[in-house]
A and B are shown apart, each in its own frame.
Chain A
Amino acid sequence: MADFMNLIRNENMKMFRRPRLFVMLGIIVGLVIVFSGVWFSVDKGESAMWEVVITETMFLYWIITIFAAIASASTVAEEFSSGTIKMLLIRPWSRSKILLSKYISSLLFALFFAVAFLASLMLVNWILFDLLGNGTVDRLSDVMGVSNIEYLFKYYGLLFLGTMMTVTISFMLSTVFRSSILAIATALFIEIVVNNFMQLLAFVKYKWIDYVLFVHLDLTKYVGGNEYNGMTLGFSLAVLGVYYVLFMVLTWYIFNKRDVAA
């Protein structure tokens, strides 16, 4: 087990010790500062910090999913394109375990960015609206009838489940096609479709629509309760679970079988 931790350490080293990490962090923190700055200058710091945090999450969180998808798409595809895959696979480790270490490190990367995003949101908005402003106006709590902090964490959890699913899809595509571009493009496509068109599709009255993956990727519709438009959170999770197992089996099967001629 301690040895397997070494594999994860290796993958983390390759994942995090890259200039792209700082670019991604810079983009996220920059966007939060700009967004909050504009908001602050418009309402003179009247809004409650939580309201701003939740609103910005709604608008900006998809970037986290894209960054996580990029990282997970490149972890396998890059080893193939650089040829290092053959250096990696000639060690006393089964291919399954090597792939698992990469998958775990992809999820850790996603988690790291989700946490970094939330932390920068809270910090920036706390400074602006709590310290500098007088943030008292809280429209959200009034509407939702729940405390903001509870709402925020539930919302974030549901978002992260969607991110995990997208990371898994992009991990699978990059393993199957050994191309990170394809995997990243698909992840982007999924984000756009899910965020913009799924609400429409949910109203189409065919039974099979209920089993389409895309319909369930955005779980935040359940933040207000376990039912939404005739579907329950449990049902969505079950559909996602079936797809998840399918994707994982396919990814591992292909990776184990493949002749490596990179």
Chain B
Amino acid sequence: MGQPIVRLQDVTKKIGSRTIIDKLTLDVPSGEVFGFLGPNGAGKTTTIRMMVGLMSITSGDILIDGHSISNQFEKAIRHVGAIVENPEMYKYMTGYQNLIHFARMIPGITSHRVREVVSLVGLDARIHDKVRTYSLGMRQRLGVAQAILHNPKLLILDEPTNGLDPAGIRELRDYLRKMAQQEGVAVFVSSHLLSEMELMCDRVAIIQNGRLIDVRTVQSTDKAVIARTLFEVDRPEAALEALAASELTGTIEGAGNIAVEGDKLFAAQVNELLVRSGIKVFGIRAEIKSLEDQFLEMTGGEGIG
């Protein structure tokens, strides 16, 4: 992990009297795949629009590679590749012409590089067809191609897996991880696909109603951030009392079950305590909470806010 490539400092966006983004502060270092998670209307796309200078920032600032996106736009955007919402292309041109078009806007991109990127996203067979004839997934691939043409230091992708088939999602995931690890690119991905984020991100920020709720590290090995353990016992009430005596809390879950929150070691300690208190433990079941469960819990699983 290196220097922060992108810094959001107290970023606020107001449209009219509505506050859409409220004092968002984030750092993404190079070499990290950073997930940006939130329900519909949370403000993910709005944040990304501000990061690439499409929308003005009401207050606060965004620095990319040390340059302010509002005051030094050309320097800041130089090392950014992005897909904002859907990758819209010129439909009346071929995929190749579209890439040439964007390649011309940045000095130093050779036609060799353009072809290299085309095979990287697996579009060789159709690149000389008009974009009009592309499927959604093919457009998404072309979108990724235009974003990585100039070897950016920061890659911003707004729901990049939208429309990709399982193989495509997997390729993209592997590619993003490789870019981050081998080339030190900072990758900023937004998504609703929570399980997807767990698989590809190092850290995930969760936003809701324009506010940052939490930033957490994803443990890629067991993905279990918080475990909940269910104990099947003969006397649930007595078990809770025994826990309370040691200043621990649990809840009664259905008939003859109590649940405690904590990691594996904690579960073992609870088991020991219960046995010592003369309570019969018939079974122990660990419930692993995925990021998805946590996400739904934190955002209350409510509708679009």
Q: Determine whether B266 belongs to the interface, using a CB cutoff of 8 Å to chain A.
A: no
Question: What residues of A have a CB within 8 angstroms of the CB of B52 in the complex?
Answer: 86, 90
Q: Determine whether A3 belongs to the interface, using a CB cutoff of 8 Å to chain B.
A: yes
Q: Mark B46-82, 1 if CB is under 8 A from A, else 0.
A: 0001001111100000000000000001110110101
Q: Determine whether A34 belongs to the interface, using a CB cutoff of 8 Å to chain B.
A: no
Question: What residues of B have a CB within 8 angstroms of the CB of A86 in the complex?
Answer: 49, 52, 54, 84-85, 88
Question: What residues of B have a CB within 8 angstroms of the CB of A89 in the complex?
Answer: 53-54
Interface segment, A7-15, A173-181, A234-242? A7-15
Question: What residues of B have a CB within 8 angstroms of the CB of A150 in the complex?
Answer: none
Interface segment, B29-37, B96-104, B159-167, B224-232? B96-104
Q: How far is the CA of A19 from the CA of B93 in the complex (A)?
A: 11
Q: Determine whether B91 belongs to the interface, using a CB cutoff of 8 Å to chain A.
A: yes
Q: How far is the CA of A10 from the CA of B93 in the complex (A)?
A: 12
User: Which of the residues A9, A84, A92, A94 comes within 8 Å of B88, measured between beta carbons?
Assistant: A84
Is the Cβ of A261 less than 8 Å from the Cβ of B104? no
Q: How far is the CA of A9 from the CA of B104 in the complex (A)?
A: 9
Q: Determine whether A18 belongs to the interface, using a CB cutoff of 8 Å to chain B.
A: yes
> Using a CB-CB cutoff of 8 Å, which residues 1-51 of chain A contact chain B?
3, 6-7, 9-10, 13-14, 17-19
Query: Chain B interface: which size bin?
Result: 20 to 34
Question: What residues of A have a CB within 8 angstroms of the CB of B97 in the complex?
Answer: 13, 17
**Count of chain A to chain B residue pairs whose CB atoms are closer than 8 Å in the complex:** 75
Give the one of A14, A17, A83, A91 with max B CB within 10 A. A91
User: Which of the residues A9, A14, A82, A87 comes within 8 Å of B102, measured between beta carbons?
Assistant: A87
Query: Chain A interface: which size bin?
Result: 20 to 34
Give the one of B73, B87, B90 with max A CB within 10 A. B90
Q: Determine whether B257 belongs to the interface, using a CB cutoff of 8 Å to chain A.
A: no
Q: Determine whether A259 belongs to the interface, using a CB cutoff of 8 Å to chain B.
A: yes
Residue of A nearest to B89 (CB): A84
> Using a CB-CB cutoff of 8 Å, which residues 3-45 of chain B contact chain A?
15
If over half of B's interface residues share one DSSP class (helix, strand or loop), that class is named, otherwise mixed; here it is loop
> Using a CB-CB cutoff of 8 Å, which residues 79-127 of chain B contact chain A?
80, 82, 84-93, 97, 101-102, 104-107
Q: Mark A78-99, 1 if CB is under 8 A from B, else 0.
A: 0000111011011111100000
User: Which of the residues B56, B74, B90, B93 comes within 8 Å of A94, measured between beta carbons?
Assistant: B74
Evaluate whether A91 and B86 lie within 8 angstroms (CB atoms) in the complex, with A261-B49, A261-B55 already known. Answer: no
Is the Cβ of A90 less than 8 Å from the Cβ of B104? no
Q: How far is the CA of A73 from the CA of B218 in the complex (A)?
A: 49
Q: Determine whether A200 belongs to the interface, using a CB cutoff of 8 Å to chain B.
A: no
Q: Determine whether B146 belongs to the interface, using a CB cutoff of 8 Å to chain A.
A: yes
Question: What residues of A have a CB within 8 angstroms of the CB of B102 in the complex?
Answer: 87, 91
User: Which of the residues B85, B91, B104, B105 comes within 8 Å of A82, measured between beta carbons?
Assistant: B91
User: Which of the residues B75, B77, B101 comes within 8 Å of A10, measured between beta carbons?
Assistant: B101
Give the one of B54, B80, B86, B102 with max A CB within 10 A. B54
Q: How far is the CA of A86 from the CA of B74 in the complex (A)?
A: 15
Question: What residues of B have a CB within 8 angstroms of the CB of A6 in the complex?
Answer: 104-105
Q: How far is the CA of A9 from the CA of B97 in the complex (A)?
A: 12
Is the Cβ of A94 less than 8 Å from the Cβ of B104? no
Is the Cβ of A82 less than 8 Å from the Cβ of B80? no
Residue of A nearest to B51 (CB): A90
10 residue pairs, one from A and one from B, having the closest CB atoms: A83-B88, A91-B105, A6-B104, A260-B54, A259-B55, A92-B78, A90-B52, A92-B74, A84-B88, A86-B84
Question: Which residues of A pack against B, CB within 8 Å?
Answer: 3, 6-7, 9-10, 13-14, 17-19, 82-84, 86-87, 89-94, 257, 259-261
Question: Which residues of B pack against A, CB within 8 Å?
Answer: 15, 49, 52-56, 73-75, 77-78, 80, 82, 84-93, 97, 101-102, 104-107, 146
A-B contact pairs, 30 of them (CB 8 A): A7-B104, A10-B105, A13-B97, A13-B101, A14-B93, A14-B101, A82-B88, A82-B90, A82-B91, A84-B89, A86-B52, A86-B85, A86-B88, A87-B88, A87-B89, A89-B53, A90-B77, A90-B84, A91-B77, A92-B77, A93-B105, A94-B73, A94-B74, A257-B56, A259-B15, A260-B49, A260-B54, A260-B55, A261-B49, A261-B54
- Other A-B contacts than A86-B49, A87-B87, A91-B102, 13 sampled, CB-CB below 8 A, are A3-B107, A6-B105, A10-B105, A14-B93, A17-B92, A84-B88, A90-B54, A91-B105, A91-B106, A94-B74, A257-B56, A259-B15, A260-B54
